């Protein structure tokens, strides 16, 4: 589980990247926090990763903003992040949890039904994050468990995109075991 300080730092980085509309920073935050979620078994930090990835996708696609302006949407998301940060600063992780989930729900509601896509943005984001974990050497079951995606979807996406080939070298079993041993010693 991530510490309150780690969650606050991740949210501050997310806020800054969103305010600056820095898509590359949003993706970096997503990749960094998904790694933290995998190591710490942290659902709390996973939601930051999911939110960062979904925001990167949402603010780059104009078809998501037919009914509501992009600026208003970003301001609303920043307000939710501020309230989540306030909850962490007041030692109220329950407020953080409600706010970060509210953020995901608001993005879900904001997403316009588009017949070009088979899966909604959240499902696609979860699958993409699971594929990143799988490509880095996590088992299929563990990657699916951390992200809440289906194994079948994960395998199909990983096979179609050749994600493991793009990520590069995966860690051999001996290296993964060595890392785990250092965590528990």
pTM (predicted TM-score): 0.76
Structural domain of residue 144, as residue ranges?
119-185
Q: Dihedrals φ, ψ of 72, to 5°?
A: -65, -40
d(CA 53, CA 12): 15
User: For the chain, how many structural domains are there in total?
Assistant: 2
pLDDT band at 71 (very low <50, low <70, confident <90, very high): confident
Query: In sequence order, which residues have a C-beta less than 8 Å from that of residue 180 and are 6 or more positions away?
Result: none
pLDDT of amino acid 174: 77
Cβ neighbourhood burial of 95 (10 Å; 0-12, 13-18, 19+) = middle
Q: For residue 12, give the H/E element and its range.
A: helix 4-20
pLDDT in tens, 109-143: 777 655 555 568 888 888 888 888 887 778 888 88
pLDDT of amino acid 82: 96
Kindly state whether residues 71 and 8 are assigned to the same domain. Answer: yes
Give the residue with greater pLDDT, 12 vs 176: 12
The DSSP code for 118 is: S
Please check the confidence at residue 67 and state whether its pLDDT lies above 70. no
Kindly state whether residues 24 and 40 are assigned to the same domain. Answer: yes
Which of 96, 116, 136 is where one domain is finished? 116
Kindly state whether residues 23 and 72 are assigned to the same domain. Answer: yes
Kindly state whether residues 91 and 133 are assigned to the same domain. Answer: no
d(CA 73, CA 36): 27
Q: Which two tokens stand for residue 99?
A: 């706010």
Kindly state whether residues 149 and 104 are assigned to the same domain. Answer: no
Kindly state whether residues 106 and 135 are assigned to the same domain. Answer: no
Which of 89, 116, 143 is where one domain is finished? 116
Q: For residue 96, give the H/E element and its range.
A: helix 93-110
Q: What angle do CA 149, 130, 108 make, to 5 degrees?
A: 55
pLDDT of amino acid 163: 55
């Amino acid at each position: 589980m991530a510490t309150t300080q780690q969650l606050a730092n991740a949210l501050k980085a997310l806020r800054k990247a969103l305010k600056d509309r820095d898509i590359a920073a949003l993706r970096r935050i997503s990749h960094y926090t998904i790694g933290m979620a995998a190591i710490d078994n942290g659902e709390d930090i996973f939601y930051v990763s999911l939110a960062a990835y979904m925001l990167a996708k949402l603010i780059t696609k104009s078809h998501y903003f037919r009914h509501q302006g992009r600026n208003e949407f970003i301001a609303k998301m920043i307000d939710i992040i501020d309230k989540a940060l306030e909850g962490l600063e007041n030692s109220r992780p329950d407020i953080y949890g409600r706010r970060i989930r509210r953020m995901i729900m608001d993005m879900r509601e904001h997403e316009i039904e588009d017949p070009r896509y088979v899966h909604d943005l959240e499902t696609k984001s979860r699958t993409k994050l699971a594929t990143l974990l799988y490509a880095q050497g996590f088992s299929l079951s563990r990657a699916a468990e951390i992200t809440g995606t289906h194994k079948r979807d994960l395998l199909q996406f990983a096979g179609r995109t050749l994600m493991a080939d793009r990520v590069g070298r995966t860690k051999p079993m001996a290296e993964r075991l060595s890392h785990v041993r250092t965590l528990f010693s």
